């Protein structure tokens, strides 16, 4: 069964609206990540978290907030959605220690901002 | 900062052919190198990784990759591809002292019957 799940799987939002993407993992991993993927490109890191109640900025944090209320849950929040935030968003988790560089991904959320 | 370059955006082969997907990296320190696979509409899945030791690492489904320090490369290979290998393949690099991963732009592999 899937260890990293995301909801919703797809969403249509209006410009200026608020969007919340949710991620849940049952891997018992400490680290969680949010990436965005644009067509034909690799993944870019938005926010990540080492531990519950703490988040860190990634490479492209502008326009996004993150929340990690528990070890299992990690949310990505777009307070004022914009057209440029249309993309596929992936959540991932990884363990601490020697395998911290191996990440386990969710199925993705396809976001369309109109 | 680590960087990863995948020179081929698209590779098309026939079923049963061998294939090599190219990856070059830039980083001066000790690193982990990985390959991930992404089937259409799915999340990325870990294939294999290298840190030290034997430069040829084996992954699932007959994939292997070879590390070359002199060429700064970590190319992925498979001797005989199957149609189900059609996917996008991402090379990734991370420093051995943290959990940040930097992904290449991916290579789309199309396997024709």
Find the mean pLDDT for residues A96-114. 88
Chain A contact present for B105, CB below 8 A: yes
Question: Under a CB-based contact definition with an 8 Å cutoff, are residues B64 and B49 in contact?
Answer: no
pLDDT interval class at B80 (50, 70, 90): very high
Cβ–Cβ of B9/A40 closer than 8 Å?
yes
Instruction: Report the pLDDT value the prediction gives residue B72, as an integer from 0 to 100.
Output: 93
Residues of chain B with pLDDT > 70: what percent? 95
Question: Under a CB-based contact definition with an 8 Å cutoff, are residues A51 and A66 in contact?
Answer: no
- Coil vs helix vs strand at B6: coil
Find the mean pLDDT for residues B40-44. 90
| Chain B residues touching A102 at Cβ < 8 A | 34, 46, 49
Distance separating alpha carbons of residues A59 and A41, to the nearest angstrom: 15
Helix (H) / strand (E) containing A74: strand A73-78
| Range in A29-33, A39-43, B19-23, B80-84 with the lowest mean pLDDT | A39-43
pLDDT interval class at B96 (50, 70, 90): low
Find the mean pLDDT for residues A78-86. 97
Chain A contact present for B94, CB below 8 A: yes
Instruction: Report the pLDDT value the prediction gives residue B97, as an integer from 0 to 100.
Output: 64
**For the segment A22-69, what is each residue's pLDDT rounded down to a tens digit?**
999 999 999 999 999 998 778 999 999 999 999 999 999 999 999 999
Of A45, A102, A108, the CB nearest to B43: A108
């Amino acid at each position: 069964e899937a260890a990293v799940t995301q909801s919703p799987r797809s969403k249509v939002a209006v410009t200026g609206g608020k969007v919340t993407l949710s991620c849940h993992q049952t891997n018992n991993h400490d680290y969680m990540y949010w990436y965005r993927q644009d067509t034909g490109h690799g993944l870019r890191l938005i926010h990540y978290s080492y531990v519950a109640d703490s988040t860190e900025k990634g490479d492209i944090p502008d326009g996004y907030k993150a929340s990690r209320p528990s070890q299992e849950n990690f949310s990505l929040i777009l307070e004022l959605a914009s057209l440029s935030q249309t993309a596929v968003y992936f959540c991932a988790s990884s363990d601490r220690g020697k395998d911290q560089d191996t990440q386990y991904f969710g199925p993705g959320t396809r976001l369309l901002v109109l | 900062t680590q960087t990863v370059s995948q020179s081929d955006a698209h590779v098309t082969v026939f079923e049963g052919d061998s294939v090599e997907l190219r990856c070059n990296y830039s980083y001066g320190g000790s690193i982990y190198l990985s390959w991930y696979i992404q089937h259409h509409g799915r999340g990325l899945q870990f294939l294999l990784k290298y840190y030290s030791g034997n430069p040829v690492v084996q992954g699932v489904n007959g994939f292997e990759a070879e590390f070359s320090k002199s060429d700064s490369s970590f190319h992925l290979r498979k001797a005989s591809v199957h149609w189900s290998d059609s996917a996008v393949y991402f090379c990734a690099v991370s420093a051995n002292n943290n959990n940040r991963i930097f992904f290449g732009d991916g290579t789309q592999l199309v396997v024709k019957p």
